[in-house]
Amino acid sequence: MAEPEKILFAVEAGVATITLNRPDKLNALDTDMLDGLEALIAKIDADRDIRAVILKAAGERAFCAGADINAWAELKPLGMWHTWIRRGHQIFGRLAGLRQPSIAAIAGIAFGGGLELALSCDLRVAAETAKFALPEVTIATVPGWTGTQRLPLLIGEARAKQMVLTGQRIDAPTAAAWGLINEAVPMADLDKRANELARQIAANAPVSVQTAKQLMNAALGRDAAATLEALAGSMTGFTEDAIEGRAAWAERRPPKFTGK
């Protein structure tokens, strides 16, 4: 019997859904899943018809238990650096930097790299029974996929340090009160609520939504330079002066700019 796909993908009415599909391993991330996430993020980013993204997982026990320890435990220091930590940063960064807003639908546990994956999404909706933790210090390591960077921005320094330095888990009501998740809903309503939010986003003007996301990310210090250059290039690149400049270059003559 063929092994089930570890990541599922579907698109409907402008909403892309990525499903982590390794429930027997609590959807822990291995190299195959990182490869799959990277490919799907690139596919979504290139598709102008996709307006929102839902990231969810199979089963009710876990959204994602984090990185599969078997995938990295035997790595040497250099391997950990350039094939695991660095790559995870790159992939999670691409998810966070998608033009389209993303929503994590969290059932069960979101621990370690699983919580860091959810933190890379724009919105997080969780079942009322969900649990959250960055427990790396309890196994003599540290959060490696942006947890120490994104979590303090989201819930504040003191609460982030409490989670990271104790390794303690928090429940969904606490996560909602701290601002780690947007909403906690009954498990039976989780998919419905994530889809409602995605459809609301997808119904709005996509350029406005995507620009607004970029502006808010820039305000938080994420890709500020790229955002400024993108907006400036869009504004200046299609003025009458820009048209004149390109024409003058093609005709090998001095341009006549008018400030329009």
Cβ partners under 8 Å of residue 209, min gap 6: 51, 101, 201
Nearest to 100 by CA among 198, 237, 239, 246: 198
Coarse DSSP helix, strand, coil percentages of the chain, rounded to the nearest 5 percent? 50, 15, 30
β-bridge pairing 170-171 and 131-133: antiparallel
So which residues are the catalytic ones?
Answer: 116, 136
- Judge contact between 190 and 132, C-beta under 8 A: no
- Judge contact between 145 and 228, C-beta under 8 A: no
